[in-house]
Structure 1
């Protein structure tokens, strides 16, 4: 918050933009406080609420001016279409629509149909994913082969007090660190039988990835091309992306099946 205040005081800031929760550590921004600080200086606030879903968090009611969602994730919910949406007051959305008309990005009829289909079951899917993720986060936090769990629904999460205040559910993604090295973590991920190995999230099928080698490999390539001498591993570690970090997006499979699968994969390697 101090950094935000300094930025607002030092320059003419037109827009504050952030995820909440964030990827991959699910950090939560106090949307009400951020909106208050920004609006006092005439700054717009845009929140990417993809991880929260429109059901778990209503950023517009908390003071944000605009809300973004990657509809590819929970809104689509079936890992079979790409899309996005933005919500806000008519005046702002009308300006955005003008740019949209010029720049393109119009959904195909098939994609639009798939999103309409998916929204009919959004509340059912998210309820199941919220429940599974919270229960698994609680169990994993007690497991001897897991060193740390990141989930806003846990009291150990640094913004749990914020999440409780501004979210009605904590989402279906849980990030955690395996108590082992890179190879042990890779072996754990490869030993899972139910989830797909992919960098997306929010679908009916569970998805898992090891961010150190998956979600950030494109970023690392870009850094290497433009900076050449930049050590991508050091850059990841600087942002907390360790080799043993796992991001697990829970689908709608039976909780007991997911639990058994994770436990058998953890049993593959020794402490």
Structure 2
């Protein structure tokens, strides 16, 4: 494939590795400091609230280093590319809710516990939806879907890029299941990682349909976290997490099948 502007062909896998390291460096350092303190290895920890925000400066400097000013402009354009058909925003907002509610219904129907509102209240979830959209737009999604997705997609195509980024994105979350400061602590690792990797496929489809918009990815991500926390998918008891992982994987597989692996990629999304 011919690389798009801001992503010259001479950018190889080492440059992509630098971008991945930029996303891992700050959050993992901060998260691991809390885990180390919890195990008595050190007597202090770095402020956990800075974990995601540490991505932004590292990402900007790395994109400038590997892609020059044109690469930084390309990333900025994707962050500001908010215009998209209404249906895309409806799916970005609604699909996580549908999967969360569907998981709750299936677990409840078999007599399982559905801890709605225990982990996060409905007002808090709605507030988080707005805050999380801005947070993820400027941090996580700027990295995964703004900087990495278009570059990896140029090389491996939509399906390959989604699976590779999904695997790396899932691995990036690993410290959260051991971090006492996170709601994800104690979650079963495999369903958690499968859920994240499958979600990567869904987000790729939305971003491609929205001509590369990272805003759409941020909306989906915020809706995912808010709805899963409110309904209790990532709460105590893991039955809903297992069901959500299966439902998300089936949905992702269906999207790959229906789009013949193209995941709604348009020429505009590659620009």
The TM-score, its normalising length taken from structure 1, stands at 0.31
Higher Rg of the two aligned structures: 1
The structure showing larger relative contact order (alpha-carbon pairs under 8 Å, at least 6 residues apart) is 2
* Greater share of residues in strand: 1
The TM-score, its normalising length taken from structure 2, stands at 0.31
